[in-house]
Amino acid sequence: MLPEPVRRWLADVALPGARIVDVAPLTGGYSNQNLLVSTGDGDRYVLRRYLRPGAPRTCAVEAALATLLTQRGRVPVPAVIAAAPSDGLLLSEFVPGDLVSVALAGGVDPGGLGVAARQALSAIGAVTFDGPGWFAGPELVPAADDVPGDLAGFVSHCLASSTALSAGERRDLLALAESVQPRLDALAGRACLVHCDFNPKNILVRRVRGRWMVTSVLDWEFAMSGHPLIDIGNMRRFRSGYPPAFNDGFAADLDDAELADADVLDLFALADLLTRPPDSALFDQVVGVVRQRLREWA
């Protein structure tokens, strides 16, 4: 399963002296590859192989963020064991737990799951930087020039490479983007840590004395500095597929205006997702959400 150079890095650099007895794929990792590495001593680790363009930068940023958050101790993340950004390799501790997506399917206290996810997200949003933007490198300095501010222009750019919507829907989406621009302008300038992929497939939880707690937030490759409501919008994107109690628990401390702003901020991500290959279940979900947004804001 592993190329020989990767196996040598594990044996000689990341885990010197350890005997690797098994390497198995983990769920998730749509863009990259996540593998469970087991040693003869019974230790387990997660090897993340970055396969997308820009792998060295992404790997370096994710390793730096994990180190920062581990040091601060407020946001649960897997500790970094070793990293080789030039080769797109990151080895982290294995954190036990169930994904929120799995826990929701079990049906046990979905409201408590929502509250636990919101508490973890509040801790993420408490981390701040000098300005908004995506991180240019492991120094975690945001690059403000990379943040789109003109929603209508961004939507127009995305629609140029997408045929998912009808002509009327495209016009309506552009009109919606123009109408909500004042709300976006009022939200600009925040510089909090944003996960940008905060949803049930990237959050590990377990039950402790009858209550849910988050054991780890995974996959930080899209992280940036920006408005914390971006992550609220991400979680709410597919809310129709979650139990109402989960949605209520997650949004219990948010008012209607904040929830509306979160949905507005999520339009950037939805427009970008419309440019993806149209042959996946995720794409159909995105198109459905866009159409729902158009009905809600009509």
Question: pLDDT at position 28, please?
Answer: 63
Span 5-49, pLDDT tens digits: 999 999 999 999 999 999 999 976 567 899 999 999 999 999 999
pTM recorded for the entire structure: 0.94
Give DSSP secondary structure letters for the chain: ---HHHHHHIIIIISTT--EEEEEE-S--SSSEEEEEEETTS-EEEEEE--STTHHHHHHHHHHHHHHHHHH-SS--PPEEEEEGGGTEEEEE----EEHHHHHHHTS-HHHHHHHHHHHHHHHHT-B-SS-EEE-STT--EEGGGS---HHHHHHHHHTT---S-HHHHHHHHHHHHHTHHHHHHHTT--EEE-S--SGGGEEEEEETTEEEEEEE---TT-EEE-THHHHHHHHTTGGGS-HHHHHHHTTT--HHHHHHHHHHHHHHHHHHTTS-SSSHHHHHHHHHHHHHHHHT-
Could you give the domains of the chain? 4-93 (3.30.200.20), 98-296 (3.90.1200.10)
pLDDT at 62 over 90: yes
**Mean pLDDT, the chain, whole residue set:** 94
Confidence band, pLDDT 50/70/90 cuts, at residue 251: very high
Q: What is the pLDDT of residues 114-128, one digit of tens each?
A: 999 999 999 999 999
| Per-residue confidence (pLDDT) for residue 30, from 0 to 100 | 63
What confidence tier does 282 reach under pLDDT thresholds 50, 70, 90? confident
